[in-house]
Chains A and B, each alone.
Chain A
Amino acid sequence: MRSTEEKGYFADYTMLTLDSLKLNQVVKIKGLTPNSLASKLMDMGMYPGKSVQIVFKAPFGDPIAVDMDGYTLSLRKDEASLIEVE
């Protein structure tokens, strides 16, 4: 039997995160996974409600370059996976 924590993990796994988007697909940020990095991302302009899109990727598909209103941020994929989008 799985513990409740693990269930929670698998439930979260189905959410759409920034790292899994296609190029140039415009989405809105829904939330950030609580993590020490999350508040850093927030300071850099990634807050819930903000429109974002992946504009290009590095070789090997990681890191990714994300455009937010004409301002480009580079994020590693595991960093982008902390950002839930809709």
Chain B
Amino acid sequence: MKIALLGNPNSGKTSVFNQLTGLNQKIGNFAGVTVDKKSGILKSSEVPHEIIDLPGIYSLYPKTQDEQVVYDILSDKEHPDYPDRIVVVVDASNLERNLLLFTQVLDMGLPITMALNMTDIADKRGFVIDLDKMSEMLGGIKVVPIVARSGKGIKELIEDIIENKPRPAAEPFMGGEFDEGQFLIKDVEEQKSRVENRYKKINQLLQFVLKRKKVEQSIINRHHAVDKVLTHPVFGYAIFFAIIVIIFQAIYAWAEWPMDLIDTFFLEASKWVKMTLPEGVLTNLIAEGIVPGLGGVLIFIPQITLLFAFIFVLEESGYMARVVFMMDRIMRPFGLNGRSVVPLISGVACAIPAIMATRTIDNWRDRLITIMVTPLMSCSARLPVFTVLIALVIPDKSIGPFNLKGLTLFGLYAIGVIAALLAAMVFKWIVRSKEKSFLVMELPLYKMPRWTNMGIILWEKVRLFVFDAGKVIFSISIILWVLASFGPSERIEEAVNELSKPANPTEEQLVEYNQEVASTKLANSYIGILGHYIEPAIRPLGYNWQIGIALITSFAAREVFVGSMATIYSVGENFDDENTLLERMRSEKNRLTGKPVYTLASGLSLMIFYAFAMQCMSTLAVVLRETKSWKYPVIQLVYMTALAYLAALITYQLLS
């Protein structure tokens, strides 16, 4: 049997879904639209029942894509997702508004059950609800009181689903509006008057069903007192800033060691494969392509998990809505809204979870703009590139109390923020949408997050990334490996043969020789040839073909730049050799002019290039996953590369 779960946003529908299905969840697509469909299998039932989590909506009259999806499914018996019965989650502490959607669905004539949620909060607020009376006045439908957060009443709800035959209400709440075969009213004014009449009838019902008892102190007033502090013009921003600092500290402190662990594990695995398997192309493919490719996907898990753990707490506690409320006015001139703030800030850690976090932006246009500009925020993968380049070209001087190297790094971060905001303004003009940007949203009561829900959400995010985006990332990394390892057949061989292998090499000489082989191979691989080929295009930026190669290989991920540089200059990829790499790069001379390649002008130009360029295939894979279209990652790649090229060109030409 197919059971649809429906309810208002903030009615606790997700908690009910998690309680009903546990970890038996999967994500797919609703037929024909790009809205994610979450479904699961009902727990503790012998017969498998599929539960479909429909998007949270306020009314059946479609105004957003989510509402359209729900209406299309429920109004079409032939629809592949048409349910055999529907469970509507109703917030008992806000009956009037929740009954609007409930009675609309009831009127569609589907077998319906009411899961009356948050009965504990309703009780605290002094609401006494006569369940029998309500059931009677709603055509005899089943009402199951629950507290989804604690699991109270869930057993009874499951029993009802398994044991009782699905049945619709005996009579519609308001006949004529949503009857079978009835076309949906399109006229907005007519819709409004229908909704108004429905509210009137709901209020008549509530006079019989809802009684109020005296409560000591209104919990609403207490929540508003907290609100006044958390959205205060001074304390509000200070608290938010403090929370962000704590989150970033935690991400850098806690994500580093599991990332190192994953990194080391795959390095060792790669070495092990090379030692164990017979020498050959297949071994190389496994050791240098597949194993590092897998590592390149899994390395993001610590950051994704940590960032989403924090976002979950902010969201569940109700604080996120206050952040949105506080930041909306500031973000609006840039074509963004208050909900863009957390994704943008998360982009400083890593654009991947940041872009995945834009799902909370319900307006498609605002969400798209946020996705497009988030990768301009300076992420942690740029840091190793900036560190090497700053060490290379920025003099160790101070301006007043500030060290020039520190100032440069700060400037690069600032440039990222400014570029993101300006790009958003540009996209605001380009992206047209019928959906008007609005911020009508609920400020939910503050709550303690439920940790079991957190586990489920983190698992969902990690799975989404590894299996959906991971496929693309893995494929591109294999392609890049092939391009970096192979070249026109004899070219690599000839070049390597030209190197003179020492007759009786000492260990040191052998290491040196192997590094030179690696360097020669890369320089004569397809990527190497491409690097030579693009040299004329990047010469105006102050780069040579070696940098060209590093630019291409670091499309996989920005930090690869450092490793590629080490290979090209055959100094080994060991980080202890960073100084060797710096010395080698410092002594690099231009073939034509004989002047040093890495000067202040070319170094800064390269930093600016990395600040703006979309040098991250994983981000593109996630954008593809989130927008469900190739169009957006392609636009993003093109505009960011163009921006990077122009900015680097201007930088170099002004400074040289």
Residues of A with Cβ closer than 8 Å to B?
A: 32, 34, 36-45, 47-48, 55-56, 58-60, 62-63, 65, 67, 69-76, 79
Contacts and interface: CB of A to CB of B under 8 A. Distances in A.
Interface in B193-240: 195-196, 199, 218, 220, 223-224, 227-228, 231-233, 236-237
Nearest to A32: B192
B263 interface: no
30 contacts: A34-B189, A37-B438, A38-B188, A39-B195, A45-B100, A47-B196, A55-B227, A56-B227, A56-B231, A59-B232, A59-B326, A62-B328, A63-B328, A63-B329, A65-B227, A65-B325, A67-B220, A70-B93, A71-B97, A71-B442, A72-B220, A72-B224, A72-B227, A73-B442, A73-B443, A74-B325, A74-B442, A76-B438, A76-B439, A79-B440
Given A34-B188, A36-B436, A59-B329, A43 B59 contact: yes
B387 interface: no
B321 interface: yes
Contacts of A44: 58, 97, 440, 442
Nearest to A75: B440
Interface residues on B, range: 35 or more
A77 to B, nearest CB: 9
B448 interface: no
Contact of B237 (A41, A59, A69): A59
Contact of A42 (B195, B237, B326, B441): B195
A74 B96 contact: no
Prevailing SS type, chain B contact patch: helix
Interface of B: 58-59, 61, 63, 93-94, 96-97, 100, 125, 188-189, 191-192, 195-196, 199, 218, 220, 223-224, 227-228, 231-233, 236-237, 321, 324-326, 328-330, 436, 438-443
Contacts, number: 113
A49 to B, nearest CB: 8
Contacts of B321: 74
Contacts of A39: 59, 61, 63, 188, 191-192, 195
Contacts of B233: 59-60
- At the interface, is chain A mostly helix, strand, loop or mixed? mixed
Contacts of B441: 73-74
B438 A79 contact: yes
A60 B440 contact: no
Contact of A79 (B192, B227, B231, B439): B439
B63 A40 contact: yes
A51 B328 CA distance: 26
Contacts of B443: 65, 72-74
Contacts of A48: 196
Given A32-B192, A79-B439, A43 B58 contact: yes
Shortest 9 CB-CB distances between A and B: which pairs?
Answer: A43-B59, A59-B233, A45-B97, A43-B58, A72-B443, A60-B329, A70-B220, A47-B199, A42-B195
Contacts of B227: 55-56, 65, 72
Given A65-B325, A72-B443, A76-B438, 15 more contacts: A39-B63, A39-B188, A39-B195, A40-B438, A42-B196, A43-B100, A45-B96, A47-B195, A55-B227, A59-B231, A60-B233, A60-B330, A70-B93, A71-B97, A74-B443
Contact of A63 (B63, B96, B191, B325): B325
Contacts of A65: 227, 231, 325, 443
A22 to B, nearest CB: 15
